[in-house]
Amino acid sequence: MNETEQPVEVNTVIPFGPQHPVLPEPIQLRFTIHQDKVVGVVPNIGYIHRGIEKACELNDYKKNVSLCERVCGICNFMHAMAYCEAVEELTDTEVPDRAKYLRVVWSELSRLQSHLLWLGLFADSIGFESLFMHIWRDREIVLSLNEKTSGHRIHLSTCAIGGVNKDMDKGLISEYKSGMELLERRIRELAPVFYKDRSVKDRTVGKGVLPKKRAMLLGAVGPTARGSGIPQDMRRLGYEAYSNLDFEPVVHDEGDVHARLLVRLEEVFQSIRLIKECLEKMPEGPVMNKNRRFPNGATVVRIEQPRGELFYNVMGNGTKRLRRCRIRTPTLANIPALVDILVGYDVSDIAPIVMSVDPCISCTER
Amino acid sequence: MTAQRIVSDGGVFLEKVRELRERDARFITITVIDCGDRIEAVYHFDTGSELVNLRLEVPKEEGLPSITSVYSAAFVAENEVQDQYKIKVSGLSLDLKGRMLKSDAPVLAVSIPSALEGGTQPTGRKLGRCRESCPAMVNVPKYVRQIAAGDIEGAYNTILERAPFPAILGRVCFAACERGCRQYRDERPVRCRLLKRYAADSLVQLKQRRERAKPTGKRVAVVGGGPAGLTAAYYLGLLGHEVTVFEKRGVCGGAMLAYIPRFRLPQNVLDAEIAARIEEAGIRVEAREVESLENLFRQGFDAVFVAIGAQKGLKLMIEGEDSPGVYDVMEILSEINVYGRRPEVGKIVAVIGGGDGAVDAARVCRRLGAESVTVFYRRSREEMPASLDQVEAAMAEGVDFMCLASPVRIIPGKPLKVVFQKMQLAQEKDEKGRRKPVPLPGSEFTIEADTVIRAIGQRVDLPKGFNLEVDERGFVATKDKAGATSMKGVWAGGDAVVRPKSVIEGIKEGRAAASAIDKYLGGSGIPEPVVDESELVPRPHDASEILGIEPATPKCLEPTVRIKGFDEVEGGFERDDATREASRCWRCDWNE
Ligand SMILES: Cc1cc2nc3c(=O)[nH]c(=O)nc-3n(C[C@H](O)[C@H](O)[C@H](O)COP(=O)(O)OP(=O)(O)OC[C@H]3O[C@@H](n4cnc5c(N)ncnc54)[C@H](O)[C@@H]3O)c2cc1C
């Protein structure tokens, strides 16, 4: 090539997914790349849409509990809980106090296992395999505790309309307590790696920056919002026993991948603390109240999942079938932000940035 | 669940959605219910304190209007609605054309948005990141575009819609817009601030032709002639009210006049622009210190805007602070700016503080002949609130910085002795999220200085007779975003509210208050400029067209020349530079 001849510059389109090593679930992002920089992104979802919202209108409303549970693998308990809360409100069913505490315990265990899963997968996405293994070993503590109460490691199926269908005796409670202490010790040991290690910081600090104002405008939720300095946490609405517990949302201001990572890491400790507090404060008593009415009216329930605000809008019409059950999962809310933060970064940053909003496609494809 | 109900009127509905966005509400999702031939859609928003639901009912064949022009994030929910109910959502910014749920259409047909391919219809985002970052929401993309096209007067007037002082802002604004620019990540943001300055400086005359609205017969008093007060006065004047600005100094400008050093903001620029605005809006300026608001109402004013700034320096609260030779930053700066004196500061100067005031004071002292000037700050460089540009300029002029040092006591004498203590940053954070400095035991050290300047922050000097509620730190307490105070008919804004801020934030608050005051007096607020879609310019097909243009840099005085006097340090753009710089804009306001 002689000097005056310029290399031709064109944009390249790279499809990322629906099958990709860092994505265990099918979503496609189509990147327009210019000289190794992302200049455009189109999200492409819907590969496994299951029509759960529609199915909820066809089923008996009681059976929907197990259906809603299957919206998401990780947050299954929380989906069931949100649905139950809505139905309880529409049928005027009072939930016993002990059940409220148990629901918080299981919710926080779900958050724990979800965040630990994510911390591991994230380490994997930046090629830090040993960290991934360590985190996942410690996540086993949570899973075996789950198995002790519900009989299942992941899908708990303990939530029911009017309360919960499993209880814990004194022995189990103390086992849970020591489990939490062990977990806390283990994660404390690993935490400095996330704060200080160069191989983590190089891949995360200043990457995928989402300024606070944009985060608000794009409707980001959960750790994605909290990592951009927005103290948004649905648990502060005080549902179940949260109004009796003492906590503040974990917030970091930087808005980059590292900030979102630290939010989740610090929430692990927060969840451990909340579980311990619940086990201390839990009153004695029944765990379930029967309801005998059909849901009537409409209500909105919003709870905080590991990935952010989960939104259920349930409408009943006084029969055993619902009129409508609208589910908006946190990942759906974070897709606009995800698309936004990728633009302007290198191709090699795509994996950690995509991971940083913790996309859950199962949720997205209700 | 309650919902506001709107039947089949897209216009009213979008207006409501826009109002929610003004209130910083977050869009959650849409619930659609199929009612045979009609569609019922409930839009859910979270305002932070409550859940707001808007219900829109439309005939099925009509379909829903898209709200992506207000909330771009709604494209996910709207595409889903389109696919689930087989209805049309018109005006979607990113229309996946029925392929979101992958039921009928082939998956692979989805491609890059048409805008990237140089498509035709501008929809979706019309703000641009620069504009979103600007506290006053100046229409940055528009004036940048106008400058690129050579329409200087148009650009100046675009800025005037939201901020009345382009020439001043073009010099002293902290330029949040540039940090919002998407090319900021590559350290080559479009220099919006300098473009603003270019637009103002290349006008033959600053005074613009403005139609004032018919006189309303209402009288408004503005207390304080700083940027916040003047902005409110300007917009209220244009709306036809009779405005009087009370300024105790007799000359308007506030902190810009009294404290910002002349080498950053020359006197003639400041005076000319303020005079032009005063004339356009028919503002009366009265040299008087206001002592009581009730008196103003008694004199026949219908509403009052309080913008008295925060002009009292905070004290260090250490021993020996009142010794001769220790000055407040405000004293030194106003001595030069207002009285035209050149105080003696000796050879060695120590400045205590880390804000822009401290850096300005240090740079001024170099110009007053001090040989060694050091700024002492108690946290680390990363926490320093002063803007990086200023710190770099100061370093080039030979100012030294010493971080993590906090004064313990001052020993009077000639020279003064100042005992400092080294600090370290604790893990725990304060309410602003900055790490707290804690003393490092046994690390005291002493320095000598001829002059010590204290620049650690300001507070409001609120006259007793104002009878306004204040917050715990003595700033005027306000009830809403427009700045309504505890007294009926009184609004407040600028540095006097919440904390000392910046010129552009003062302008924003002045304008918001002006709008609220107009509504209070029976008007309908400041009219919002309408977006004319036809004037948006599409993004070029090939990004390298933009990325290949070399950024322009302004000429600055050499440091050795600078410190000889108070001449303006930074130069403006020449015509060619400005046009080239403006054409580097990515046009984020086009479509995303
Ligand atoms: C050294 C220094 C450097 C700065 N540099 C920058 C910069 O580079 N960029 C930037 O954006 N901002 C800068 N700022 C901040 C900026 O100047 C202020 O935020 C802004 O001027 C505040 O505007 P204001 O209208 O609220 O108050 P002010 O500008 O303080 O104006 C208040 C006015 O009210 C008058 N007044 C007070 N009490 C009464 C009374 N009772 N009756 C009548 N009149 C009264 C005062 O005389 C004064 O003129 C700087 C500030 C300082 C101190």
Q: A35 and A71 share a domain?
A: no
**Both structure tokens of A200:** 């983590």
Does B187 contact A at CB distance below 8 Å?
Answer: no
Q: Picking from A325-339, B123-137, B514-528, which range would have the lowest pLDDT averaged per residue?
A: B123-137
At B6 the pLDDT is 53
Calpha distance A123→A126 (Å, rounded)? 5
**B415 prior amide bond cis, ω within 30:** yes
In angstroms, the separation between the Cα of residue B72 and the nearest Cα of chain A is 7
When scoring B5, B26, B428 by the number of chain A Cβ atoms within 10 A, the one with the most, hence best to mutate, is B26
**A9, A251, A328 member nearest B29 (Cβ):** A328
**Both structure tokens of B424:** 């370290």
Q: Picking from A63-77, A210-224, B1-15, which range would have the lowest pLDDT averaged per residue?
A: B1-15
Counting residues of chain B whose pLDDT is more than 70, the rounded percentage is 90
Q: B279 and B316 share a domain?
A: no
Q: A102 and A237 share a domain?
A: yes
Q: B370 and B443 share a domain?
A: yes
Q: A211 and A129 share a domain?
A: yes
B197 inside domain: yes
* Mean pLDDT over each residue of chain A, to the nearest integer: 86
Q: B354 and B453 share a domain?
A: yes
B109 inside domain: no
How close is the Cα of B309 to the center of ligand 1, in Å?
Answer: 5
Residue that finishes a domain, picked among B435, B458, B481:
B458
B243 inside domain: yes
Q: A191 and A246 share a domain?
A: yes
- Give the chain B residue nearest A325 (alpha carbons): B31
Scan residues 23-42 of A and list those with Cβ closer than 8 Å to B. Answer: 30, 32, 34-35, 39-40, 42
Q: Picking from B103-107, B368-372, B564-568, which range would have the lowest pLDDT averaged per residue?
A: B103-107
At B116 the pLDDT is 33
Does B77 contact A at CB distance below 8 Å?
Answer: yes
B536 vs B548, which has greater pLDDT?
Answer: B548
In angstroms, the separation between the Cα of residue B154 and the nearest Cα of chain A is 28
Does B425 contact A at CB distance below 8 Å?
Answer: no
Name the band, by pLDDT with cuts 50, 70 and 90, for residue B110: very low
At B590 the pLDDT is 65
A233 inside domain: yes
B99 inside domain: no
A205 has a pLDDT exceeding 80: yes
The Cα-based distances of A348 to A33, A127, A207, B186, B531 in angstroms read 12, 12, 11, 16, 38
How close is the Cα of B256 to the center of ligand 1, in Å?
Answer: 6
A-chain CB neighbours of B71 within 8 Å are: 217, 219
B561 has a pLDDT exceeding 80: yes
Name the band, by pLDDT with cuts 50, 70 and 90, for residue B5: low
B535 has a pLDDT exceeding 70: no
At B113 the pLDDT is 38
Name the domain count of chain B: 4
Q: B467 and B450 share a domain?
A: no
The Cα-based distances of B194 to A25, A310, B42, B199, B587 in angstroms read 48, 45, 45, 9, 18
Among residues B47, B521, B567, B544, which one has the least CA distance to residue B302? Answer: B521
CATH number at residue A132: 1.10.645.10
Whose C-alpha lies nearest to ligand 1, atom 45? B224
CATH number at residue B170: 1.10.1060
A323 inside domain: no
Among the atoms of ligand 1, which is closest to the Cα of residue B228? 25
Calpha distance A295→B129 (Å, rounded)? 46
Kindly report, residue by residue over B481-524, the tens digit of the pLDDT: 888 888 889 999 999 997 888 999 999 999 999 999 999 998 88
**Which SS3 state, helix, strand or coil, does residue A262 take?**
helix
Please give the full DSSP string across B358-427, using - where no structure is assigned. HHHHHHHHHHTT-SEEEEE-SS-GGG--S-HHHHHHHHHTTEEEE-SEEEEEEE-SSSEEEEEEEEEEEE
**Both structure tokens of A231:** 């103290």
At B89 the pLDDT is 82
Average pLDDT over residues B93-122: 48
Average pLDDT over residues B233-260: 92
A27 inside domain: yes
Scan residues 430-469 of B and list those with Cβ closer than 8 Å to A. Answer: 433
Q: B328 and B362 share a domain?
A: yes
Q: A23 and A107 share a domain?
A: no
Q: Picking from A108-112, A151-155, B397-401, which range would have the lowest pLDDT averaged per residue?
A: A151-155
Does A229 contact B at CB distance below 8 Å?
Answer: yes
Residue A24 is part of which domain span? 8-47
**Which residues form ligand 1's pocket by a CB distance below 6 Å?**
B 172-174, 223-229, 246-249, 254-256, 259-260, 289-290, 307-309, 311, 333, 356-357, 360, 463, 494-496, 500-504, 506
At B238 the pLDDT is 92
Kindly report, residue by residue over A78-115, the tens digit of the pLDDT: 999 999 999 998 888 888 989 999 999 999 999 999 99
A332 inside domain: no
At B532 the pLDDT is 64
- Give the chain B residue nearest A207 (alpha carbons): B185
CATH number at residue B14: 3.30.460.80
At B108 the pLDDT is 38
Q: B421 and B488 share a domain?
A: no
At A4 the pLDDT is 34
Q: A117 and A187 share a domain?
A: yes
How close is the Cα of B229 to the center of ligand 1, in Å?
Answer: 10
What residues contact residue B465 under an 8 Å CB cut-off, 6+ apart? Answer: B291, B292, B293, B294, B295
How close is the Cα of B165 to the center of ligand 1, in Å?
Answer: 14
Tell me which of B265, B503, B504 to substitute to probe ligand 1's pocket, judged by most ligand atoms within 8 Å of the beta carbon: B503
Kindly report, residue by residue over A238-269, the tens digit of the pLDDT: 888 888 888 888 999 888 899 999 999 999 99
Average pLDDT over residues A316-343: 86
Burial class (CB in 10 A: 0-12, 13-18, 19+), B555: exposed
B8 has a pLDDT exceeding 80: no
Average pLDDT over residues A120-147: 90
Among the atoms of ligand 1, which is closest to the Cα of residue B463? 41
Tell me which of B173, B259, B292 to substitute to probe ligand 1's pocket, judged by most ligand atoms within 8 Å of the beta carbon: B259
Q: B265 and B375 share a domain?
A: no
Q: B509 and B556 share a domain?
A: no
How close is the Cα of B310 to the center of ligand 1, in Å?
Answer: 7
Name the domain count of chain A: 2
Burial per residue of B322-348, b for 16 or more beta-carbon CB atoms within 10 angstroms, e otherwise: eeebbbbbbebbbbbbeeeeeeebbeb
Kindly report, residue by residue over B195-241, the tens digit of the pLDDT: 999 999 988 888 888 888 889 989 999 999 999 999 999 999 999 99
At A218 the pLDDT is 85
Q: B172 and B272 share a domain?
A: no
Q: A100 and A197 share a domain?
A: yes
Name the band, by pLDDT with cuts 50, 70 and 90, for residue B260: very high
At B104 the pLDDT is 52
What does residue A298 show for φ and ψ, rounded to 5 degrees?
-135, 145
- Give the chain A residue nearest B78 (alpha carbons): A332
A352 has a pLDDT exceeding 50: yes
Residue that finishes a domain, picked among B501, B520, B539:
B520
**Which SS3 state, helix, strand or coil, does residue A231 take?**
coil
- The answer, yes or no, to whether ipTM is higher than 0.90 is no
Among the atoms of ligand 1, which is closest to the Cα of residue B259? 1
A346 inside domain: no
CB A362 within 8 A of CB A72: yes
A-chain CB neighbours of B540 within 8 Å are: none
How close is the Cα of B262 to the center of ligand 1, in Å?
Answer: 15
Tell me which of B356, B456, B507 to substitute to probe ligand 1's pocket, judged by most ligand atoms within 8 Å of the beta carbon: B356
At A1 the pLDDT is 34
CATH number at residue B451: 3.50.50.60
Unique residue bearing structure tokens 């909340």: A274
Average pLDDT over residues A63-67: 88
A43 vs A337, which has greater pLDDT?
Answer: A337
Q: A72 and A136 share a domain?
A: yes
Does B26 contact A at CB distance below 8 Å?
Answer: yes
Q: B334 and B448 share a domain?
A: yes
In angstroms, the separation between the Cα of residue A327 and the nearest Cα of chain B is 9
B567 has a pLDDT exceeding 90: no
CB B487 within 8 A of CB B293: yes
Q: A17 and A150 share a domain?
A: no
Average pLDDT over residues B444-466: 89
A306 inside domain: no
Does A296 contact B at CB distance below 8 Å?
Answer: no
B542 has a pLDDT exceeding 80: no
**Both structure tokens of B530:** 């309408």
- Give the chain B residue nearest A206 (alpha carbons): B185
Average pLDDT over residues A128-148: 90
Are the Cβ atoms of B28 and A229 closer than 8 angstroms? no
Number of other CB atoms surrounding residue B68 within 10 Å: 26
A86 inside domain: yes
What does residue A338 show for φ and ψ, rounded to 5 degrees?
-60, -45
Average pLDDT over residues A315-335: 87
How close is the Cα of B102 to the center of ligand 1, in Å?
Answer: 59
- Provide the phi-psi class of A53: left if phi over 0, else alpha when psi is between -120 and 50, else beta: alpha
B48 inside domain: yes
B397 inside domain: yes
B182 inside domain: yes
Are the Cβ atoms of A219 and B110 closer than 8 angstroms? no
**A216, A300, A344 member nearest B1 (Cβ):** A300
B551 has a pLDDT exceeding 70: yes
Kindly report, residue by residue over A16-33, the tens digit of the pLDDT: 878 887 777 888 888 888
Q: A204 and A272 share a domain?
A: yes
Burial per residue of A106-133, b for 16 or more beta-carbon CB atoms within 10 angstroms, e otherwise: bbbbbbbbbbbbbbbbbbbbbebeebbe
Q: B396 and B302 share a domain?
A: no
Number of other CB atoms surrounding residue B287 within 10 Å: 13
The Cα-based distances of A49 to A76, A303, B79, B470, B492 in angstroms read 17, 23, 14, 55, 53
Q: B331 and B449 share a domain?
A: yes
Q: Picking from A144-158, B124-138, B330-344, which range would have the lowest pLDDT averaged per residue?
A: B124-138
Does B549 contact A at CB distance below 8 Å?
Answer: no
Scan residues 480-519 of B and list those with Cβ closer than 8 Å to A. Answer: none
Tell me which of B168, B230, B247, B462 to substitute to probe ligand 1's pocket, judged by most ligand atoms within 8 Å of the beta carbon: B247
Q: Picking from A16-20, A47-51, B586-590, which range would have the lowest pLDDT averaged per residue?
A: B586-590
Q: A148 and A27 share a domain?
A: no
Calpha distance B354→B313 (Å, rounded)? 14
A290 inside domain: yes
Q: Strand order of the sheet with strand A308-317?
A: A296-305, A308-317, A322-328
Q: A124 and A78 share a domain?
A: yes
B102 inside domain: no
* Mean pLDDT over each residue of chain B, to the nearest integer: 84
Residue B24 is part of which domain span? 2-90
Among the atoms of ligand 1, which is closest to the Cα of residue B501? 19
Does A9 contact B at CB distance below 8 Å?
Answer: yes
Q: Can you count the helices (H) and strands (E) in chain B?
A: 19, 21
At B524 the pLDDT is 85
